[in-house]
Amino acid sequence: METTQKSPRYGMVIDVDRCTGCGNCMVACAVENNVPPAQAKVTERTGMTWMRVSKLDNGLPFPENRSVYLPVSCQQCDHHTPCQSVCPQNAVEYDIESGIVAQIPVRCFGCRYCMTACPYHARYYNWFDPEWADGIERTLNPDVSARMRGVVEKCNFCHGRLQAARAKAAADGRKTESESDYTTACAECCPTQAIRFGNLADPKSEVSILSKSPSAFRLLEDLGTEPKVYFRSEQEWVHTIVKKTSSSELKEHSNG
């Protein structure tokens, strides 16, 4: 993927050794992006979690069993972007100005081909119309529009916040957003600062330095999709398990 020097490529580095699996990122994401709460019939399969914290363990029996938590959202693939290449409706687009893989729910007609194509199971289908308890719709974020039943949606790195940062830049007379004005809800609300967000194209940025460290890895790296979400761990076994894990196993692990 060629990127111009100028345009940023946003990405995340998640320190799994610092992740306590509290779930803050999941709920902060839902609040930010107007993702509705589950109805009574919703299960783990039909749930809507742009960010989902999954458990990854070493497969050994008790008490040798070790585990870490992997907060998995859209991995924002830079290369081949599987979901984008299969969408028959052009509802998925690779945004060259930010590196964000954009999902446009109003354009989507719900064939779910992209969900099949996504190796990370990071896309979610609206099986039901969104339902907020009476009054809670007043707490919705005006920077993000609500979706309806029958369309696919996913993490877009809190794009509403990028738009807000761009508007602020314009008001200040700047051409591009300042990176200090833009971070995702999950990174902001992580109580252990395990999630770091920033511009991977800037060699001096924290994420860029962290992503190049030997402890960094990406999920299903051998598929060559070049995700922009990195993980890091100092624990040897995590690297071993991640290298061995195939896409179907990732799903299995995510169910505990």
Partner 1 sequence: MLTPGTLRFLAGFVFSLVIGWFVFPYVLYERIEQPLQFSHKVHTGEAGGMSCTDCHEVKPDGRFTGIPALEKCATCHSSQVGTSPHEKRLVDEYVAKNREIPWLVYAQQPENVYFSHASHIGSVECANCHGDHGSTDSLRVYERNRISGYSRDIWGSSISRLARKATWDGKKMDDCIGCHESRNVTNTCLKCHK
Partner 2 sequence: MNSKITRREVLQFVGGSALGVLLSPLPWKVLDDTAIWTQNWPWTPKPKRGDIAYRTTTCTLCQSSCGMRARTIGAQPVSLAGTQHHPFNQGALCTSGLLAHHLRYHPSRVKQALKFSVQAKSHSTLSADDAFRELSAVLKNSSSVVIVDERAGRTVSALYAELAASARTVSYAPVSARGISSLNRLAGNASLQAGYDVDNAKCILSFGAPLFDGWGTPSLAARFFDKRGTQKLIQIEPVRSRTAEMASKWIVSRPGTDLAAALSFAHVLLEERLVSASALKSITDIDELALFLGAFTPEVVSKQTGIPPATLRETARAIASQTPSVCVTSHAAGDDVQDAVMLLNILTGAVGTQGGITLRAEIPGMRSAAASAKQSVQIDDLPDHSVNVFILDESLSGSSIPDTLLQDKLVSGGQGVIISLSPFVTPRPFALQYIIPSTVMFETLGDTTGPFDAARSGLALSSALLPAPDGTLDALQFVQKCAETLSVSLSSTGSSEEILKKRIGALHASKRGQVFMTSTGETTDVKQLATADDLWNALVEGGCWIDEAVGVNARALSFRVMPSIKHTRQTQTTDSNTLLVYPIVESSAYSGKTVSPLMSKVSQESGLRLSAQDAYLNPVTAAAHQIEHGSTVALRTKNGTMNVRAKLDARTMPDVIFVSCTAQSCGNQSAIASSAQDVRLLCEVSSGGSYTPTPVTIQKVYL
- Residues that bind partner 1 in the complex, under the rule CB under 8 A: 93, 95-98, 100, 102, 104-107, 143-146, 156, 159-160, 162-164, 166-172
Say how far apart CA 226 and CA 8 lie, in whole Å. Answer: 16
Give least dist CB 54 to partner 1, A.
27
Which lies closer to partner 2 via its Cβ, residue 44 or residue 221? 44
State the binding partner of 104 from partner 1, partner 2, none, CB within 5 to 8 A by kind.
partner 1
State the binding partner of 37 from partner 2, partner 1, none, CB within 5 to 8 A by kind.
partner 2
Q: Are 208 and 228 in contact (CB under 8 A)?
A: no
Strands 229-232, 10-15: parallel, antiparallel or unpaired by DSSP? parallel
State the binding partner of 159 from partner 1, partner 2, none, CB within 5 to 8 A by kind.
partner 1
Which lies closer to partner 2 via its Cβ, residue 57 or residue 226? 57
Q: How far apart are the first and last CA of the chain?
A: 35
Give least dist CB 43 to partner 2, A.
7
State the binding partner of 153 from partner 1, partner 2, none, CB within 5 to 8 A by kind.
none
Nearest to 105 by CA among 129, 121, 82: 129
Say how far apart CA 217 and CA 200 lie, in whole Å. Answer: 14
What lies within 8 Å, CB to CB, of 124 at 6+ separation is 47, 48, 49, 50, 115, 152, 153, 154
Say how far apart CA 50 and CA 186 lie, in whole Å. Answer: 10
Give least dist CB 145 to partner 1, A.
4
State the binding partner of 251 from partner 2, partner 1, none, CB within 5 to 8 A by kind.
none
C-alpha 51, offset from chain centre: 6
The identity of residue 74, as a single letter, is C
Residues forming contacts to partner 2 in the complex (CB under 8 A) are 18, 20-24, 26-28, 30-32, 34-35, 37-40, 42-44, 47-49, 52-55, 57, 59-63, 65-69, 106, 129-130, 132-142, 144-148, 185, 188-189, 191-193, 255-256
